[in-house]
Amino acid sequence: MPTQPSTYLLIPGAWHGGWSWWPVAKRLRAAGHRALAVTLPGLADGDDRAGLRLRDAVDHLVDEVQRRDLTEVTLVGHSWAGYPMTAAAHRLPGRISSMVYYNAQVPGPGGSTADDNPPEVAAFLRDLIESTPDRSIPPTVEFVRQTFMQDVAEDAQRLLAELLTPHPGAYFLDALDAPDTAALDLPARYILGEHDLALPRPGSEFAARLGLEPVMVPGTHEGMLTHPDAVADAILAA
């Protein structure tokens, strides 16, 4: 566990805002650290999602770090956030000290989030995106029940579905305009929920892109909400 105060920038995954990291952020602050939970463009209630590209999410992260003049930052990304987090780290030399991927996709060279899925799923995503006026993917209660948060009561599943926002489609389709994660040469950790069903391939495969074995914690894809103590402890141990 770190002996000096650290700065953690907590980055939400697809459909989520910074609120999804608040329980973990509270615990990191209680341990004496600085924890900032950001919401990326298009993922706040009422945001205009039309025309947003993956580079807009990356630019937002870079601007956040530079505007606050943050240094020695540990970037912590959930799920899809592994993509913009990795690209932002490449643009912030000297400011990032380590990377933590939590139930996250780790980018491969030149790939997109859609590319991490089987071809039939990637095709379905593209068709769904093209069918909505602003080219976004709306969340559904059924998706939350089956994929995101299987370990809680139905009321909690409905609440999460109401908090989620449609996800800009290009965030899934755009290829990462950055070298792959290995080129960062930064310490990294991969944390994986024991019952995560949301990742498009096993979390161990994403961890292997970092040359790591996953650190297992309790919970599903939404463990930062249902098991914040365990997730915070795993982040602090990175």
Q: Which of 20, 79, 112, 136 does the annotation list as catalytic? A: 79
CA 107 from chain center: how many Å? 12
Encode the chain in three state secondary structure. CCCCCCEEEEECCCCCCHHHHHHHHHHHHHCCCEEEECCCCCCCCCCCCCCCCHHHHHHHHHHHHHHCCCCCEEEEEEHHHHHHHHHHHHCCCCCEEEEEEECCCCCCCCCCCHHHCCHHHHHHHHHHHHCCCCCEECCCHHHHHHHHCCCCCHHHHHHHHHHCCCEEHHHHHCCCCCCCHHHHCCCEEEEEECCCCCCCCCHHHHHHHCCCCCEEECCCCCHHHHCHHHHHHHHHCC
Token look-up 């449609």 returns 166
What residues contact residue 78 under an 8 Å CB cut-off, 6+ apart? 10, 11, 12, 13, 16, 20, 21, 102, 103, 104, 224
Active site includes 79? yes
Give the integer Cα–Cα distance in Å for 167 and 14. Answer: 6
Query: Hey, which residues are catalytic here?
Result: 79
